[in-house]
Structure 1
Amino acid sequence: MFSSKAQLQKRTPENGTDRENFLSLLVDEYLHSSSYDAKCQVLANLANFAYDPINYQYIRDVGVLDIFLHVIKNESNEQLLHFASAGICNLCCDPLNAEYIVTQSGLKPIIALLKLNHNDILADTITTLYYLNNNQTKAEITTTEVIKHIRDIQNSNDKRLVNLATLYLQDVCGTKEDV
């Protein structure tokens, strides 16, 4: 459910931690934890916070988007990649976040996620690339390699992936082919 600042203030106890401080604590926990399970849990929580546009400014201010980008650039663990790709997907519909993702060299590692065999990551990745489509990114997100991966995804048994891939090819790549 989307929130307003008034709703957030109403739900925050008088001596409670405000949203920005809480996100900052989660970032610190992720950065300083040596436990894989703790990192996964924190990353999942951060991805959930990325769902509500009321959090976008806080997320930018405390570096959550940087963590998501770091994970997709440097990690190979699919669970961490899943949470990071979900967080990026939740954030990329905002123009400021989309611009940040592109200027921080996020396109190549996002495109690399198309090679994985994880349906949720693939769905998040196609959706993210769909939202990042503009004149600046078009050439990079419609390469022969990207189109090949998207066409391969069209052969999935997951109807959600088939539909996302088909829309991507039609709307972003301009192809009229169906499965």
Structure 2
Amino acid sequence: MSAGQCAGAERFQYLQALVTEFQDTDSIEAKEQVLANLANFSYDPKNFSDLQKLQVPDMFLDMLTEDNENLVEFGIGGICNLCLDKAMKNHILSAGGPSLIINCLSSCREETVLSAITALMYLCTAASRAEITAPPVVECMVRFSLSDNRRFSNLAKIFLEDYCTEQQVEEARSLSQHSALGIPLPKD
């Protein structure tokens, strides 16, 4: 076995131990720490195959419906990291990821919302575009684009310019109240 294979086997065992710890612990703090570690490992494409084998993308998706804002933030952060990979992107799309991610737009956490917007952009394909640029989402992005928070406004403007049609944006802007049909602006 080469040094690279040995390191790869050790990495898989480590990731497997993290997943097992996450599943077995009753401590919320431990779950948060493990999920944050897994989200960090999802930055590196070397880990994608192992994370897929360990069903970590599904774990991240499951966290998006939790009441604990830390778990949601780490889950969406992990998804955002993984969805640049084509296989991961397809898995997240087929697992209903866009609707779960869209729900994260109403989070009161800045990082959660920014990761959600970014993930939606990464997941936008010909097949997913209608869901990702649905009127409530476009209206929400119009609201974000008007925010005093530069991170929100800049990312929302990119979303509107690169993923929406002019007609979609104009329709969203023409609405008298930007309620986003239940997607409130996060607190700045």
Aligned positions of 1:15-164 closer than 5 A: 18-72=10-64, 74-164=65-155
Q: What's the CA shift for 1:28?
A: 0.6
| Deviations, residues 70-101 of structure 1 (Å, cap 9, x unaligned) | 111x3021111000010000001111001000
Q: Distance in 2 between matches of 1:160 and 1:139?
A: 25
Q: What's the CA shift for 1:105?
A: 1.2
CA contact (8 A) 1:47 1:90 kept: yes
Aligned residue type for 2:25: S
- TM-score for the superposition, normalised by structure 2: 0.83
What secondary structure, in the 3-state scheme, does the structure 2 residue paired with 1:18 have? helix
Aligned residue type for 2:73: H
Q: What's the CA shift for 1:155?
A: 2.7
What secondary structure, in the 3-state scheme, does the structure 2 residue paired with 1:157 have? coil
Structure 1: where are the runs of 5+ without partners?
none
Write out the 4+ residue segments of structure 1 that deviate beyond 2 Å after TM superposition. 5-9, 155-158, 174-177
Aligned residue type for 2:53: D
| Deviations, residues 27-64 of structure 1 (Å, cap 9, x unaligned) | 11111110000000000000000001111101101111
Aligned residue type for 2:27: S
CA contact (8 A) 1:115 1:149 kept: no
Q: Distance in 1 between matches of 2:140 and 2:5?
A: 41
Aligned pairs, number: 168
| Deviations, residues 121-141 of structure 1 (Å, cap 9, x unaligned) | 111011100011111101001
| Deviations, residues 105-162 of structure 1 (Å, cap 9, x unaligned) | 1111101111112110111011100011111101001111001111222233321221
